[in-house]
Structure formats: structure tokens, C-alpha cells
Amino acid sequence: MAYFIVQGGKKLKGSIKVNGAKNGALKSLAASLLFKDEIKITNVPRIEDVFRAEELLRKLGCEVAQKNGVVTVNPEKIKTASLDPEIAKRFRASIVFIGPLLARKGNASFPHPGGCVIGKRPIDLFLEGWRAMGSKIEETKNGYTLSAPRLMGCDFTFRNISVTGTETLMMTATLAKGKTILRNAASEPEISALAKFLNMCGAKIKGAGTHAIEIQGTGGRPLEAKGKTMQTIPDRIEAGSFLALGALLGDPLRITNCDPEHLEVPIQTLKAMGVPLKKGESWIEVSSPKKLKSVDIKTREYPGFPTDLQSLFALLLTQAEGESLVHETVFEGRLNYAEDLNRMGAKITVCDLTRALVRGKTPLRAREIESPDIRAGLAFLGAALIAKGESRINNIYQIDRGYERIEERLNKLGAEITRVNS
């Protein structure tokens, strides 16, 4: 397994470009299964989860090509409706392929989802939605088998807001017969971008970006791209990650190719902490202040504070003066990184599965740590960058799942990170 060797105490200065959204690209790749003809997706990040998604499509029988971040998918020769279990278990977003596959083929099967270990992430909302559309579902010891010769539109309310659930059922309903209404739906920018492109290609989706989405299905008729291109929007989580790193080490750090409107709550949080910050239409510049103020953070669904930035901002709070409360409301168990940061010198008290007290300011010392998931992995990289001495970060496959060539990009800004392939 590859690992990073990180020399701490280096400032980050210069400009870094944000890549296409991981979550947007993965859903666009899944949406290719709704099409009759070839679909082209641009600004696709070259990260491990995208590689796995492309492998899944090839295993299904699709033709997939990639050049310079442009991915072309031709779904005409789909030969199976079963996700390859070895690939699907490696990333959580594999489940979003099931909705389009079920709508396209009338049946689908998949293993129990894998991905990050960040608490319970049940799939019952997906199953409830598919049942409401008329699908029969059989659970086996290896996974699930779905059968729906004719999907019907329905009026479905999510018991809890689910981003992947909203995207998956929206795509499923696109080819169903009749009207579907999704209530208490998620409102992330990636959902609006996907709906906009599907509408360009013949879908009839209203309300994407709100909590009530209405879809008039095609009755089983696949969409047609006819040469149209899906542009992946900038990754707001990557942009927010760079904001946190800039607040820790920026001298200054300018983040380009981003949409500041997608990060209003994290930006306001940084301002409350006393972080110098400037922004334009597609850029944000941030510097590390002489003194950071403590603030409380509570994660929420968009447009609230993103759960995917929680661990990085908790790291930032270890360098703030005073005591802060971090309250995780989206994924229980997402505070499991705290023990490793404490071994580096942080003072984080985990109160329960959802709350932690962070006491600062505490200097961090270098040590060997292991990435438990994508976002905590990057938080550990940030911790190593501000720690005194040389750190080793293991299991960096988790970081590679969400961040493209992160060590090369940060080294250009002044970091000293070495990738070692063991």
C-alpha cells in the first residue's frame, strides 16, 4: 500500500485550481445508463472512485473512453444488469447505478454497499423508493435483486434527507411511466446540474435544487444526448478543503475555478474565526491569521455546513484559542478520527457519537497515522503539514478516492509530501 511522508511546518503560497466535483461526476457516469446514445462528460476528476465507476460501466457492457478529463460513455451494448461485486463494494456511490440500470433493463442486482467507514449509512430509503415505483426486491446473503418490468411514477417522501437517495430516485423516475414527486428531497448543486443536463436531453424534471422535485417519466424510452455534453461543476468540498488548509497555512492561498456561492456557510465560519478572506466570482483567497478564534460547528444538509468538511475544520479548531463544539448531525460515527489527532497532541473530547469538544490552541507533533476515510484522510494530511517533524500517512488510497494527485498539487504551493509506493 502506498503512503505519504510529510515534512511539517511548511507554508502554502500561490494558486490552486479546483477540479470537477467528485459527487457530480459519479452521478453523471451513472446517468449514462439512461441514454440510448453516447454521452460525453467533461471536467471529470481522475480519482479512484471515478476509476471504479468506469470499471463498473465496462463490466456492464458499456464502452468507456477517457482523454484529458473528458469521459465518453456509450451504453448501447449493456449486457448485464448486475453490478460487479468486487468493484461495487469499494465505493459507496456504486448504489446510484442501480436506479438507472433498473429503469433501463427492468431488473438489477448489487452487493451490500461498501465505501467509507463513517457510521451507519443504511440503504432502506433507496429500497422504499424503488418499492413505491413498483419494484420487487429480494435480499440475499450477498446483496439485493430488484425486478420491475414496468416502473410507475409515485408520490414519495424521504424520511430523512438523502443526497444519493434523491439523485438515484430522480434518475429512476426519469424513465418510469407517469409522474413522480420526491418530497423532502436534497438540494445540493450537483442535483440541479444533473437535472439540467437530463432536461436538455429529453427528461422532464422540475424543482431540482428545492425540497420537492417533480419528474414526468418517459415510460421506458431512453434519453438521447445527440452530441450534448455534461459539464461537471467545480467540487465545492475540494474547494472547502483548500479553504481550511489555507486558514491553517496560507501565505496567502488562492483557490480558483470554484463557486463561492456553494460555500457560504464555511466562508462565514472562517470569517467568524478571524481568517482573512477575499473572494471573486470564481475564486477565494485565504490567509493564515496570527490568531484563530474558536467557533461552534454543526453539520447540516446543503446549504448548511457540509459534513464532508467537518474533520478538516475540527483540525482547524485545534489551532484556535478557546473551546469549540463540533456537532455532527448527518453521519453518526464520523468523529472517529479524534483519537489519532489526540495522539498528535490535539485535545478533543468525544462526548458521544455526534458531538466533540475541541480545546485549543495545541501544537501538533509528527507521527504515523492511517487514513480511515476520504475526508479524515485529508484532515490527517493537514495535521501532518502543521505538525513539527516528519509524519507518515498510511492507507492513502482513501485520500486518492476523493483528491486527484493531491501531493503534487500541494507541493507546488510549498508543501513537502513524498508518495512512497511500497
pLDDT band at 114 (very low <50, low <70, confident <90, very high): low
Query: Letter for the amino acid at 341?
Result: L
Same-domain check for residues 221 and 189: yes
One domain, residues 133 and 238: no
243-296 per-position pLDDT tens digit: 999 999 999 999 999 999 999 999 999 999 999 999 999 999 999 999 999 999
Please check whether residues 309 and 165 belong to one and the same domain: no
Residue linked to cell 487514513: 371
Strands 390-394 and 368-370: parallel
Task: Pick from 91-95, 137-141, 328-332, 342-346 the range whose average pLDDT is largest.
Answer: 342-346
Tell me, what CATH number does 306's domain have? 3.65.10.10
Domain count of the fold of the chain: 2
**Tell me, what DSSP letter sits at residue 291?**
S
- 3-class secondary structure for 382-416? HHHHHCECEEEEECCHHHHCCCCCHHHHHHCCCCC
Q: pLDDT confidence of 92, banded at 50, 70, 90? A: confident
- Tell me the per-residue pLDDT of 400-411, one tens digit each, with 9 for 90 and over: 999 999 999 999
Q: What is the pLDDT of residues 188-235, one digit of tens each?
A: 999 999 999 999 999 999 999 999 999 999 999 999 999 999 999 999
**What grid cell was written down for 124?**
432502506
Q: Count of CB atoms within 10 A of residue 74's CB?
A: 17
Please state the pTM of the whole predicted model: 0.95
Instruction: Give the C-alpha separation, 338 to 356, whole Å.
Output: 9
Residue type, 366: A
Q: Which residues pair with 15 in a beta bridge?
A: 254
Domain of 122, in residue numbers: 22-231
**Which grid cell is 221?**
424510452
Instruction: Output helix, strand, coil percentages for the chain, rounded to the nearest 5.
Output: 35, 30, 40
pLDDT band of 414, cuts 50, 70, 90: very high
- Please give the share of the chain, as a percent, with pLDDT higher than 70: 98
The residues carrying an active-site annotation are 116
Which of 195, 214, 231 is the C-terminal boundary of a domain?
Answer: 231
Q: 260 with 215, same domain?
A: no
Residues 31, 14 share a domain:
no
Using alpha carbons only, what angle is made at residue 370 by residues 364 and 376, rounded to the nearest 5 degrees? Answer: 75
Whole-angstrom CA distances from 254 to 69, 279, 284, 334 are 23, 9, 6, 29
N- to C-terminal Cα separation, the chain: 6
Crossing angle for the helix pair 124-132 and 98-105, nearest 10 degrees? 20
Same domain, 185 and 285: no
d(CA 57, CA 79): 10
Rounded average pLDDT over 313-326: 98
350 and 304 share one domain: yes
Cα 375 to its chain centre, rounded Å, is 9
Same domain as 274, residue 210:
no
> What is d(CA 81, CA 399) in angstroms, rounded to the nearest whole number?
30
142 has pLDDT over 90: no
**What is the reported pLDDT for 384?**
98
HSE of 236, CA atoms in CB hemisphere, 13 A: 22
119 has pLDDT over 50 = no
Q: How far apart are CA 213 and CA 195, in angstroms?
A: 10
d(CA 155, CA 310): 33
Distance CA 120, CA 123 (A): 10
Same domain? For 248 and 217 the reply is: no
**CA distances for 402 relative to 15, 154, 208, 336, 405, angstroms:** 20, 34, 25, 19, 10
Residues 6+ apart with CB under 8 A from 418: 4, 5, 6, 407
Q: Is 70 exceeded by the pLDDT of residue 151?
A: yes
> 206: part of which helix (H) or strand (E)?
strand 204-206
202 with 279, same domain: the answer is: no
Q: Which three cell numbers stand for residue 132?
A: 413505491
Q: Indicate if 281 and 144 belong to the same structural domain.
A: no
Residue among 395, 417, 414, 393 at smallest CA distance from 406: 417
120: pLDDT confidence band, cut at 50, 70 and 90? very low
Length of the chain counted residue by residue: 422
Check whether 157 has a pLDDT greater than 50: yes
